[in-house]
Structure 1
Amino acid sequence: MPKPVVAIVGRPNVGKSTLFNRITGTRVAIVEDTPGVTRDRLYRDADWRGRQFTLVDTGGIAARTDDPLVVQVRRQAEIALEEADVILFVVDARSGLTADDEEVAELLRRSGRPVILVTNKVEDFRDPTMIHEFYRLGLGEPLPVSAIHGLNIGDLLDRIVDLLPETAAEEDGPALKVAVVGRPNVGKSSIVNRLLGEERVIVSDLPGTTRDAIDTYFRRGEKEYILIDTAGMRRKSRIANPTEHYSVLRALKAVDRADVVLVVLDGTEGVTEQDKKIAGYGHEQGKASIIIVNKWDLVPKDDKTITRYEERIREELSFMSYAPILFVSALTGQRVAKILPAIDAVGAEASHRVATSTLNSVVQEAIMLTPPPAVKGQGVKIFYATQVRVKPPTFIFFCNRPEDIHFSYQRYLENQLRQAFGFEGTPLRLLFRRSKGQ
């Protein structure tokens, strides 16, 4: 079961993301003076007094407006409230009580959830007048903090833990973490929403709508997943402001902590240079990957379209020929049902461990069929191999002249391992070491 959920809510620019970063001990939320920078829900685990919980940062709940993006941000915050076991309602002690604060308070009173009223940006804890007016919200005693300076955070955490449900169970086991990456506006959030069957992340026609990496826990049957929807990764020359810069870094970090990476391409545009860079980062980090060609409903087709398109992808992304390719439409739902089984399959392959005796039988047969070429008249011998890790599967080959194992022969050995053991969807790491006594 997922951990208890603590949601941070409030109007824009009261310091919610700063508080989120302070509690989780990281800089996972974007912090900037521009109001409304955090637009989706952002999840991260926290621990206090031995109790674990999931902290959720949300976009600011602004006054009612017809702006479609503001309306969606408000809906995201409301979804967080529905999920939450405890709510942190953050207000700004410096600017005082506002009409927006009162509107948020009314929303929280209707939620029926336990609420901690957090008065942020308190400069003098000896002056009670800074928080007195917030009693009018009817949400109990305000708790003064300074998120930016880390003051009174321990008292806040104590109060959070005291309100956590006693029956909340911890997660039964590690969920498979899946990062969804790609250029802006290729349909990453739409794919996530299709997989989840609900609007968990904002979907907009505007490129770059998702600016944080959003963690969404869900389960299908007995299997658990965490989908990480990331900001579209633009070329560096197009990163026009600090927010975009942090979003790209966060997307890369999302890949770092993922078990499986979904590389989303726009079927109407083909493989771009930026697609190659995005896919290449996951490959370099040793991540199991699936290539998702989205918007397939918009591509004119004949009976050879998929074959031609797959050939072009294999040519452009030749370094990850191991990755399966799925042609889908998030808009219509076409073939989206194939994504989760593919995730399960490549996740299992990335964790596949081969017995040393079985491995060496395959390696010795491969060497007998095609021995490593001699270098400058000197014979190259491979004595034995062993698998030393998974995610990605990594093998050490012990030999007499590791520096003389040519790249082409390394590729030959990799192909033999894949032919014998599968490993679809995951890169392999082959390391060559000098055997003792050689």
Structure 2
Amino acid sequence: MKPLVAVVGRPNVGKSTFFNRMIGERLAIVEDMPGTTRDRLYGDTDWNGRVFTLIDTGGLELGSGIPVGQVGLTGQPGDLMEHVMSQAHLAIEEADVIVFMVDARSGITASDEEVADLLRRTKKPVIVAANKADNAARRMDAVEFYSFGLGEPIVISSIQGVGTGDLLDRIVEELPPLSEMEEEEDEELPRIALVGRPNVGKSSLLNAILGTERSIVSAMPGTTRDAIDTEITFEDRRIRLIDTAGIRRRGRVGVGVEKYSVLRSERAIERADVAILLIDASEGLAAQDTHIAGEIHKQAKGVVVVVNKWDLAQEQRRAEREGVFPHPDDEIQSADEYRAIIAEGLKFIPYAPIIFTSAKTGYHIKPLLEAALKVADMRFLRVPTARLNEVVQEATRRHDPTTMRHKPLKIYYATQARVNPPTFIFFVNDTEGVHFSYERYLENRLREAFSFRGTAILIQFRPRSKDETRGKKAD
């Protein structure tokens, strides 16, 4: 595994700005507002031939009352800030090197003193980084951070990039020796994103999969703001899970932090191989669920539809039978009835498997992961050209192409151009002569022959060139 470097400090000292600069992209949300970062984020960077993973954390607040050894808080209710603090402590626990970031403009604060006291007890390499030292005066004033007893402070400006090279030099010096595992190239992992509207249980499901509190769980919608990557091993296979902020309808997206959260959720779908779309069983299929499914289909991703909180839905159904909820709108259907309703509402992705789960009880967590991996495998299925053309020829014999523009469509041959997503090119005499209904018919025949369960497939039509025509006749 790559070495881990945690960036910690009180709120609003520039941790996320430094994190984004080091990894070369705006992965962490940056706002001039304390508390913007809640969960811990991971990003890879390299310096002087060493590759390591940076961890961005939420701000450590004075008077949180959470000792350094108390992490997780699994299953226990608590204030959101306590969860943020717990995430920062977890980052400290798992890091090989800790960068303690302070604000050179404001000098030492009581919160800084508390964080320094916490870090002195970790027995791990700690590097003090005095950020926002944008001029000579601030760089001179940074000597006061010697008083922490954590060694010489490195003066930097994350925005300007000043001093970051010196800080990276120090980080590399403190990293553990290069291991054999670190030298191995990372294999391409299936990337699975957990997506859905706010408060449907995405973080709870991720925690149920991991068996630990990897993401903050709160009853308040919108708790998760950043897309968070976690690697796990399931049945001897490594998987990269992406937890995301809830996606709201565009008309309801606020400015600032929530807007960035939605953009990151949509980007998480874009970089995922498979999207697990969570639906709240107690609320049913909402218009926003359909919108998110449409985004997944538009980006040609694999998809598994997960009806979460199924235990809550069953409790509601029992209550309805006992007369607690006499109104017919409160009735929750059986699994088969519910599946039919979901399938009808998402009929534009009929290939998507539907699984009922409960993140709270762990119900069907294993079948969910198995289904997601099968979908991921389908995305890399490559069909032999000869077999593909046999299927296409049989399809055209069973149903002649629709005649458009007074010219019958001819399909000469087909080939698979690439995988992830499976993409097929059909060479025809007239690309404008392909009716959308016939394209859907061909897709159905491909699925009938090769399954592609759970994943979108792309079909493209191209005219056959004269050179190709002559070549085929010569053959």
| TM-score for the superposition, normalised by structure 2 | 0.89
Closer, same or farther: CA 379–240 of 1 in aligned 2, 3 Å? closer
Note if 1:176 corresponds to 2:183: no
Match of 1:78 among 89, 106, 109: 89
Q: 1:85–1:221: structure 2 CA closer, same or farther, 3 Å change rule?
A: farther
Which of the residues 241, 247, 255 maps onto 1:241? 255
CA distance in structure 2 between the partners assigned to 1:375 and 1:78 by the alignment = 66
Q: Which of 350, 358, 377 is the aligned partner of 2:387?
A: 358
Aligned to 1:200: 214
Aligned mates of 1:376, 1:151 — CA distance in 2: 65
- Of 79, 89, 102, the match for 1:91: 102
CA positional deviation for 1:65? 3.5
The separation in 2 between residues aligned to 1:12 and 1:423, in whole angstroms, is 47
Find the aligned partners of 2:433 and 2:337 in 1 and give their Cα distance. Answer: 38
- Partner in structure 2 of residue 398 of structure 1: 427
| TM-score with structure 1 setting the length | 0.96
Kindly, what percent of the aligned residue pairs are identical?
A: 53
Q: Whole-Å Cα distance in 1 between the matches of residues 253 and 139 of structure 2?
A: 44
Which SS does the other structure have where 1:215 is aligned? strand
Quick check: 1:174–1:224 contact (8 Å CA) kept in 2?
A: no
Aligned residue runs from structure 1 range 198-347, under 5 A: 198-300=212-314, 305-347=334-376
**Secondary structure in 2 matching 1:261:** strand
Moved runs in structure 1, 4+ residues, more than 3 A?
A: 125-129, 300-304
Contact 2:411–2:429 (Cα < 8 Å) also in 1: yes
Amino acid of the structure 2 residue aligned with 1:121? K
Deviations 1:282-326 (A, max 9, x none): 111111111011011121459972222111111111111111111
- Give how far 1:378 is off: 2.2
Q: Please give the secondary structure, in 1, of the residue aligned with 2:121.
A: helix
- 1:160 partner letter: I
My pick for the range that moved more, 105-114 or 119-128, is 119-128
Q: SS at the partner of 2:240? A: strand
- Name the SS for the 1:320 alignment partner: coil
Q: Summarize the Cα distance change of 1:192–1:279 in structure 2 as closer, same or farther, 3 Å threshold.
A: same
Task: Look up the equivalent residue of 1:289 and give its one-letter code.
Answer: V
Find the aligned partners of 1:42 and 1:376 in 2 and give their Cα distance.
55
Question: How many residue pairs were aligned?
Answer: 437
Matched, 1:388 2:417: yes
Structure 2: runs of 5+ lacking an equivalent: 66-77, 319-331, 470-475
Q: Is 1:53 the equivalent of 2:26? A: no
Offset, 1:114: 1.2
Q: Does the aligned pair in 1 maintain the 2:104–2:138 contact within 8 Å? A: no
Contact 2:18/2:159 (CA < 8 Å) preserved in 1?
yes
Measure how far apart 1:61 and its partner are. Answer: 0.7
Q: Distance in 2 between matches of 1:136 and 1:190?
A: 42
Could you tell me which of 137, 142, 145 is aligned with 2:148?
137
Q: Cα offset for 1:49? A: 2.2
Contact 1:125 1:144 in 2 (8 A): no
Q: Report the Cα distance in structure 2 between the residues aligned to 1:381 and 1:189, rounded to whole angstroms.
A: 50
Would the aligned equivalents of 2:231 and 2:240 in 1 still touch at CA under 8 Å?
yes
Q: Which amino acid in the other structure matches residue 307 of structure 1?
A: D
What residue is the counterpart of 1:109 in the other structure?
A: 120
Instruction: Single out whichever of 406-415 and 170-179 deviates more from structure 2.
Output: 170-179
Cα deviations by residue, 1:171-201 (Å, 9 ceiling, x for unpaired): 5412221111100000000000000110000
User: Tell me, which stretches of 5 or more residues in structure 1 are unaligned?
Assistant: none
Deviates more, 1:75-84 or 1:370-379: 370-379
For the residue of structure 2 that corresponds to 1:392, the secondary structure is: coil
Task: Report the alpha carbon displacement of residue 377 of structure 1 after superposing the two structures with TM.
Answer: 4.0
